[in-house]
Amino acid sequence: SYLQDRKQIVDIAGSYFKEATTNIGVPQGSVLGPLLFLIYINGLPTNLSLSKCILYADNTTIFYSNRCVSTLISNLNEDLLKICTWCELNMLQINHSKTNFVIFTSHQRSSNFYPVISINNHIISPVDHCTFLGVELDCHLKFHLHVSNVKKKMAYGIRVLIKARLHFSFSTLISLYYAFVHSHLNCNIESWGNTYNSHLTSLQAIQN
């Protein structure tokens, strides 16, 4: 059966552990596995009354805004408790080592000020930037890190074009440009394309 009575065994340097029956979960590496998992966790956002939730593959992002820091902390912790309860009821575990939070603000914040936000009695580590759907978000949304990463990827693509220009036709080089350069520039540009003109100018300079 695809989902029932599945067996698993662990092999470490030729030593095999006793065969065990997998009672929960979906088969990893399968075509249906990700879809079944998305169906399984689709009800999570409906349990949150204060925060908004975005699900993408096996990553879950919640976000909440408030001008009052104490209210923000209280409401976030309340919804995080609901997430923990939902996960326990549905036999899921949260990976605490991959759970962080970012405070996005236009104001300069003291580097040693971070609110205490916890999940399942684990204090969540604060970070100054994170990657969300391929976009590097810094705490002030200035996109310095993201533009820097895009420039590195574009520079690599241009080096590929320089090496390939003596071996391929112009039409093929155009295709390579869109694959190795333009794709990085255009990816999620609607979310970061209104950054500083100096960033945009530096990106244009790489293309030129």
Binning pLDDT at 50, 70 and 90, where does residue 35 land? confident
Please check whether residue 78 lies inside any domain of the structure.
yes
Domain of residue 97 covers: 43-127
The tally of domains found in the chain comes to 2
Choose between 120 and 88: higher pLDDT. Answer: 88
Q: Are residues 158 and 116 in the same domain?
A: no
Q: Are residues 118 and 163 in the same domain?
A: no
Task: State the average pLDDT for the chain.
Answer: 84
Binning pLDDT at 50, 70 and 90, where does residue 24 land? confident
Asked if the model's pLDDT at residue 117 lies above 60, the reply is: yes
Among residues 95, 127, 159, the one where a domain terminates is: 127
In angstroms, the CA 155 to CA 21 distance is 49
Model confidence, pTM: 0.70
Write out pLDDT tens, residues 153-179: 998 988 888 888 888 889 998 998 899
Please check whether residue 15 lies inside any domain of the structure.
no
pLDDT attached to residue 82: 92
